[in-house]
């Protein structure tokens, strides 16, 4: 649960200030809506560390890739990202 | 160990193992705070690579594991109330309460939905205006900003059918509680990288100074863990007790200012009961008065009561680092991840589950 996964910002969908800055982040092809309010300077193509749907910091691309590969090898991505791209109601 | 050979820095890992063996002259106990790190140490076989003198003590580092039974019971009681949808992270679902787990309650008709983010719980509230949606907000500092953000968004959207049941715990007060416990011997700490990503490192300086313990911030990969252990041992052998950041690629000295601001808006620090440890002053967050309409405890007038633990579970001693999971008479017998008796067996980040899975992995290797 405390894992944070690095992914690449592919789109910034809401530019609103504050709590509602959101975008799309790709985790090796799995794309998730992600809140970007805590990384106000992050731009498209930046890598961010995402924890429970919220980006908590910007990370270096090489490091992001390395961590991602490791998490994938350990089979721990699904636990954090969920199997289905449409989270929420069953 | 399978994973370690797949990891590209095998040579580097071996180099650090060699350096650690060369360095150590005395017995030392190092506690890793975070369950993610416990998981990494056990899963990658790192414990077996360390010299005998080095003992890794697995700290209280899994928020799911330290959530008290009475809170799980409260969450289940809410989920049985008509008109309430209880939402929770998946890790929490299988944790046994005093009578049943959230998952069992769900099978028995309680309205429980698993979410990956508190912001998904908020979406459920938007889609179900005639229902009350409660999110079971469990977590360390890492998760606090996301949980706080859900409250800020709910307020901004004018959603009145959303609230959170907080089970928020904080790392530095727990470190102090462990260090002041005369039964416990911890010489140095690995601090959890993701907690520090949010909070920064400031809080650790007074602890290192007061208790004369080195504190090394590190990450979760095998090489991060080994470097963290190596740097802690280097300080211990030299008699120094500094705060050191070995996870600078992610952790800034001051943490994430936006995240800290959001936490400060929604939460206030409070005393907290840690399962297996007891009450630690100033070790958690509650929803601030300004947002009391989003506090499930107030909204649904939940009381406080103590619920006893399973008599044979030694989780408390494990969380304090006094004993290992294998010392528990129920380990792997009456208590397995399928039928957990205590919380550290439930979450994959719990010390008992980490040991259990590792033992399974070893058996599989031996049996082909
Ligand atoms: S093995 Fe089970 S019963 Fe024993 S300490 Fe761990 S969680 Fe408790």
- Find the closest chain B residue to A37 by CA distance: B258
CB B164 within 8 A of CB B296: yes
Cβ–Cβ below 8 Å for A1 and B91 = yes
Q: Which two tokens stand for residue B74?
A: 């409260």
Q: What global pTM score does this model have? A: 0.88
Q: Which two tokens stand for residue B238?
A: 């030299």
Q: Which two tokens stand for residue B133?
A: 């949606």
pLDDT score at A16: 66
**How distant, in Å, are the alpha carbons of B47, B73, B226, B239 from that of B122?**
41, 22, 40, 50
Cβ of residue B342 lying under 6 Å from some atom of ligand 1: yes
Structural domain of A15: 5-74
Query: Which residue, B285, B274, B281, B292, is CA-closest to B344?
Result: B274
What is the C-alpha separation between B47 and B68, in angstroms, rounded? 29
Instruction: Say how many Å lie between the first and final Cα of chain A, rounded.
Output: 20
Residue A74 has its nearest CB partner, among B3, B89, B256, at B3
Pocket test for ligand 1, best of B310, B314, B358 (most atoms within 8 A of CB): B314
pLDDT at A86 over 70: no
pLDDT at A87 over 60: no
* Mean pLDDT, residues B63-90 taken together: 93
Enclosing H/E stretch for B271 = strand B267-274
B76 Cα to the center of ligand 1, angstroms: 22
pLDDT score at B149: 97
Q: Which CATH superfamily is domain B1-368 in?
A: HypD, alpha/beta domain 2 (3.40.50.11740)
Query: Cα B138–B116–B73 angle (5° rounding)?
Result: 40
pLDDT tens, B262-288? 999 999 999 999 887 889 999 999 999
Residue A85 falls inside a structural domain: no
Residue A29 falls inside a structural domain: yes
Pocket test for ligand 1, best of B35, B319, B352, B356 (most atoms within 8 A of CB): B352
Rounding to the nearest 10 degrees, give the CA dihedral for residues B104, B107, B112, B117: 70
pLDDT tens, B195-239? 999 999 999 999 999 999 999 999 888 888 999 999 999 999 999
What is the C-alpha separation between B66 and B341, in angstroms, rounded? 14
* Mean pLDDT, residues B173-183 taken together: 90
Counting the structural domains of chain A, the total is: 1
Cβ of residue B313 lying under 6 Å from some atom of ligand 1: yes
pLDDT score at A17: 65
Q: Which residue has the higher pLDDT, B78 or B2?
A: B78
Q: Helices B171-180 and B204-211 sit at what angle, rounded to 10 degrees? A: 10
**With pLDDT > 70 as the criterion, what percentage of chain B qualifies?**
96
Cβ of residue B115 lying under 6 Å from some atom of ligand 1: no
Cβ-based neighbours of B264, under 8 Å, separated by 6 or more: none
pLDDT band at B26 (very low <50, low <70, confident <90, very high): very high
Query: What CATH number should be reported for the domain holding residue A34?
Result: 2.30.30.140
Cβ of residue B347 lying under 6 Å from some atom of ligand 1: no
Residue A90 falls inside a structural domain: no
What is the C-alpha separation between B13 and B362, in angstroms, rounded? 20
Residue A82 falls inside a structural domain: no
pLDDT score at B339: 84
What is the C-alpha separation between B180 and A49, in angstroms, rounded? 34
Rounding to the nearest 10 degrees, give the CA dihedral for residues B205, B208, B210, B213: 180
pLDDT tens, B295-317? 999 999 998 777 787 889 998 88
pLDDT at B101 over 50: yes
pLDDT score at A84: 46
pLDDT at A11 over 90: yes
pLDDT score at B4: 41
pLDDT score at B321: 75
Helices marked H in A1-90: 61-73, 77-81
pLDDT tens, B342-354? 878 877 778 899 8
What is the C-alpha separation between A7 and B299, in angstroms, rounded? 37
- Find the closest chain A residue to B155 by CA distance: A19
Residue A18 falls inside a structural domain: yes
Which chain B residues are Cβ-neighbours of A39 within 8 angstroms?
Answer: 256, 258
pLDDT at B3 over 60: no
pLDDT at A85 over 50: no
């Amino acid at each position: 649960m405390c894992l944070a996964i690095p992914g690449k910002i592919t789109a910034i969908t809401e530019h609103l200030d504050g709590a509602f800055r959101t975008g799309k982040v790709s985790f090796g092809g799995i794309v998730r809506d992600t809140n970007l309010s805590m990384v106000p300077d992050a731009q498209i193509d930046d890598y961010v560390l995402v924890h429970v749907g919220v980006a908590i910091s910007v990370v270096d691309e090489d490091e992001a890739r390395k961590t991602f590969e490791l998490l994938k090898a350990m089979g721990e991505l699904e636990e954090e990202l969920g199997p289905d791209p449409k989270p929420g109601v069953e | 160990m399978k994973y370690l050979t797949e990891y590209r820095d095998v040579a580097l890992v071996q180099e650090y193992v060699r350096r650690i063996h060369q360095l150590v002259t005395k017995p030392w106990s190092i506690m890793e705070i975070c369950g993610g790190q416990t998981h990494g140490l056990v899963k990658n076989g790192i414990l077996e690579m360390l010299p005998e003198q080095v003992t890794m003590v697995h700290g209280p580092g899994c928020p799911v594991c330290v959530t008290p039974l009475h809170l799980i019971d409260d969450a289940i009681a809410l989920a049985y109330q008509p008109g309430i949808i209880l939402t929770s992270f998946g890790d929490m679902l299988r944790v046994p309460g005093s009578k049943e787990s959230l998952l069992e309650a769900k099978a028995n008709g309680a309205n429980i939905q698993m979410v990956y983010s508190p912001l998904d719980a908020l979406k459920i509230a938007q889609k179900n205006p005639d229902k009350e949606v409660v999110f079971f907000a469990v977590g360390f500092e890492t998760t606090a900003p996301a949980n706080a953000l859900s409250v800020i968004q709910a307020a901004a959207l004018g959603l009145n059918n959303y609230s959170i049941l907080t089970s928020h715990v904080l790392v530095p007060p727990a470190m102090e509680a462990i260090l002041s416990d005369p039964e416990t011997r911890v010489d140095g700490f690995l601090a959890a990288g993701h907690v520090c990503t949010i909070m920064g490192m400031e809080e650790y300086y007074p602890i290192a100074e007061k208790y004369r313990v080195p504190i090394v911030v590190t990450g979760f990969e095998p090489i991060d863990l080994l470097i963290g252990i190596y740097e802690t041992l280097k300080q211990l052998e030299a008699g120094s007790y500094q705060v050191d950041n070995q996870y600078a690629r992610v952790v800034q000295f001051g943490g994430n200012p936006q995240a800290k601001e959001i936490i400060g808006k929604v939460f206030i620090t409070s005393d907290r009961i840690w399962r297996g440890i007891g009450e630690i002053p100033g070790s958690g967050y509650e929803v601030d008065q300004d947002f009391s309409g989003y506090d499930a405890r107030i909204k649904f007038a939940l009381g406080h009561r103590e619920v006893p633990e399973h008599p044979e579970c030694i989780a408390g001693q494990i969380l304090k680092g006094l004993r290992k999971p294998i010392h528990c008479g129920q380990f792997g017998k009456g208590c397995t991840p399928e039928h957990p008796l205590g919380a550290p067996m439930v979450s994959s980040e719990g010390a008992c589950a980490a040991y259990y899975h590792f033992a399974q992995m070893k058996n599989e290797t031996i049996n082909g």
